[in-house]
Structure 1
Amino acid sequence: MRKNCKADAGDGVDDANLVFETANAAILKLTKQLKWMEEDILAAESSLRTGPPSTYADKVFENDINIAIRLTEKAYKDCLFREALKNGFYDLQAARDEYRISCGSDGNMNHDLILNFMDVQTRLIEPICPQFAEYVWRKLLKKEGCVVTAGWPTSNEPDLVLKSANKYLQDSIVLMRKLLQKQLLGSRRAAKKGAQVTAVPERNLKGLVYVNEQFDGWRAHCLNIMQRKFNQQTCRFAPDEEILAELKEILQKERPAETFEHEQCMSFLKFKMDKAKSIGAQALNLRLPFGEIEVPQSNMDLIKRQLGLEVYSASDPDDVLKSGPHASLVDKTPPSAGNPTAIFVTSKREEKF
């Protein structure tokens, strides 16, 4: 465990920054990991779901394991031990926690996938925590030989599209939770002032998620210009002023009466430039590489558990009518690619969405 603390003290040629609080937190994290494996998994192994990984949550978790293997191997080769600890332990722990939440409290985790996670993580942190890894390898996993001679775990090619789709799902759940709290809080404040409340009772509340799978309007023009102004060999763009000038000219021809929102365009421009420099020209496509409607539709059970209410996908333009008195909110904050809009309405139990 002492090596774990040293690995987290920093990379490169700078002096190590060994912090006792960090050391204590690392020891606590490893202790909790041991307890989880012994009590929650191995002691209740028969309650785990059998068969090959098949659900959306299974595939996401399996993909996260593959990504951790690749990134951790690269970090070790580059002698970036803090980065290796982040990718091979902390990020993998976070992926495990997300998987547990996605599977729910009814023990729906996949048996083979969980055991593979335990195997992989033990091998990934062996160079940093050899005693811990050997204990898990021999005593808990009942493996023969030593983990130090077990070799590096194999991995499939990571699916970066699936990684992006899952981030979109998790970010959307956070957004919906914030919008729900904001809408309910606004209704309660209105009630205190004597105004009519439109978002009660909560037990009949249902969510409508509005999705626009393609950028349109000024964002579409901006992306089309950026595609022409992006050099894929050097990963460089033409000057911002050149892109903005062309965008302004196009918008003034289309909507001469409207004001050009320079700051809003610059914010979007910078965000997409950074993405393109990171993952390439695909970041400038008008559509995301996954189906925005399919992702929430295939994870409605998870969204329901997270929000505590039913949520329905509203992809048809006529679905705006279903938001009732909140229809204006859809106009004020229309959905765009990667940014859904959620509205919460009261409804009768027998009403169909």
Structure 2
Amino acid sequence: MTTARSEYRKANTGTGAGSSAVQGDNYEGMHVELVLRYIELQTLMMSPITPHWSEYIWSQLLHKPESIKKALWPKQTGTPDEGLLAAAAYIRGLGSKIRSAEDQVARKEKKKKGNAAATPAAASPTEPRLRLFVACSYPAWQDAAITILKSTYKDGVFAGTEKQLLAAAGLMKNKAVMPFVAGIKSAVEANGPTAFERKLAFDEVATLESNLDFVRRELSVLKIKDVELIKAEEVKEEAGKFAAEDIRKADMATPSQPTYRIV
């Protein structure tokens, strides 16, 4: 609950651990009733461990009419929205993935400069923008590979004939096929046949569209001034309008795994 509170505060105020408010941005702030509910639940759960502190918060801060000793343990009041939880985890993780990727690039560049003669550095844009490429469907070769894998799976066991079938379908020419197949097999063996189904529990495009400001704020360390959302399928359909690097990045995107380019 403390972690959830921290993430909520960061998103709505720009303050908290690991973040700082982006200058000039308007934040909607935290909802007072939700904050008070959080305090109430935390106090109840702490009461067996810190009874005097909990009694003080209960009576003096929350102004409850009776002692916390008479209060009931909190109960779940509704059914969790798994799609919403998955969408929230996706958005929180996106900024972290991009920052980590950029850190790796920076370290590689630093290592190269240390091992080679100094060369003039390329000028960085003063107000870089992030192009985020999101795919609405999986590559056809992945769907074909999964169909073949399904045909070899029965009673919780793979028949072991997937390589021959993949080769017969002409899929083995793609070097990415076998690592992908190995990953799906591991997921099925760990989680059952539901791992064959890769449908997301949330609308990825809609989730990104409503959280672009949050993504931009998460990338403030990279000085990102704007985040542009582009569907990978649109890049493929109108390739003439995009740079070669945009096309390459869009081709790498898959559902739940967007790619990006800083321009």
TM beyond 0.5: yes
Which residues in structure 2 correspond to 1:178-197 (within 5 Å)?
178-183=100-105, 193-194=118-119, 197=122
Q: 1:222 to 1:257 in 2, by over 3 A?
A: closer
Determine if contact 2:148/2:166 at 8 Å carries over to the other structure.
no
Q: What's 2:93 paired with?
A: 171
Determine if contact 1:207/1:343 at 8 Å carries over to the other structure.
yes
Which amino acid in structure 2 is aligned with residue 161 of structure 1? G
**Is 1:96 the equivalent of 2:5?**
yes
Q: What's 1:136 paired with?
A: 57
Q: What's the CA shift for 1:270?
A: 1.6
Which residues in structure 2 correspond to 1:11-50 (within 5 Å)?
none
The partner residue of 1:327 within 246, 250, 255 is 246
**Is 1:341 the equivalent of 2:259?**
yes
Which residues in structure 2 correspond to 1:192-341 (within 5 Å)?
193-194=118-119, 197=122, 200-201=124-125, 203-224=126-147, 238-240=156-158, 242=159, 245-246=161-162, 248-250=164-166, 252-255=168-171, 257-259=173-175, 261-274=177-190, 276-277=191-192, 281=194, 283-308=195-220, 309=224, 310-319=226-235, 324=243, 326-327=245-246, 329-330=248-249, 334-341=252-259
Q: What's the CA shift for 1:285?
A: 2.3
Determine if contact 2:145/2:177 at 8 Å carries over to the other structure.
no
Instruction: Provide the secondary structure at the position in 2 that maps to 1:139.
Output: helix
- Deviation string 1:113-172 (CA, Å, 9 cap, x unpaired) is 111111112122333333332222122212121223221334211111111111111121
- Deviation string 1:54-112 (CA, Å, 9 cap, x unpaired) is xxxxxxxxxxxxxxxxxxxxxxxxxxxxxxxxxxxxxx000000001111335711111
- Structure 1, unmatched stretches of 5+, are 1-91, 232-236, 346-353
Q: TM-score, normalised by structure 2?
A: 0.75
- Deviation string 1:14-55 (CA, Å, 9 cap, x unpaired) is xxxxxxxxxxxxxxxxxxxxxxxxxxxxxxxxxxxxxxxxxx
Q: TM-score, normalised by structure 1?
A: 0.58
Determine if contact 2:148/2:165 at 8 Å carries over to the other structure.
no
Instruction: Provide the secondary structure at the position in 1 that maps to 2:95.
Output: helix
The CA distance in 2 between the partners of 1:257 and 1:319, in whole Å, is 25
The CA distance in 1 between the partners of 2:121 and 2:246, in whole Å, is 17
Q: What's 1:150 paired with?
A: 71
Determine if contact 2:134/2:231 at 8 Å carries over to the other structure.
yes
Instruction: Provide the secondary structure at the position in 2 that maps to 1:108.
Output: coil
The CA distance in 1 between the partners of 2:167 and 2:202, in whole Å, is 29
Q: What's 1:115 paired with?
A: 36
Backbone CA RMSD of aligned residues:
3.4
Which amino acid in structure 1 is aligned with residue 83 of structure 2? V
Identity value in percent: 20
Instruction: Provide the secondary structure at the position in 2 that maps to 1:313.
Output: strand
The CA distance in 1 between the partners of 2:254 and 2:232, in whole Å, is 14
Q: 1:165 to 1:299 in 2, by over 3 A?
A: same
The CA distance in 1 between the partners of 2:171 and 2:196, in whole Å, is 24
The CA distance in 1 between the partners of 2:137 and 2:64, in whole Å, is 50
Q: What's the CA shift for 1:218?
A: 4.3
Determine if contact 2:133/2:260 at 8 Å carries over to the other structure.
yes
Which amino acid in structure 2 is aligned with residue 108 of structure 1? G
Which amino acid in structure 1 is aligned with residue 227 of structure 2? V
Q: What's the CA shift for 1:295?
A: 1.2
Larger relative contact order (Cα-Cα within 8 Å, sequence gap ≥ 6): 2
The CA distance in 1 between the partners of 2:101 and 2:210, in whole Å, is 21
- Structure 2, unmatched stretches of 5+, are 15-26
Which amino acid in structure 2 is aligned with residue 95 of structure 1? A
Q: What's 1:58 paired with?
A: none
Determine if contact 1:220/1:286 at 8 Å carries over to the other structure.
no
Q: 1:256 to 1:178 in 2, by over 3 A?
A: closer
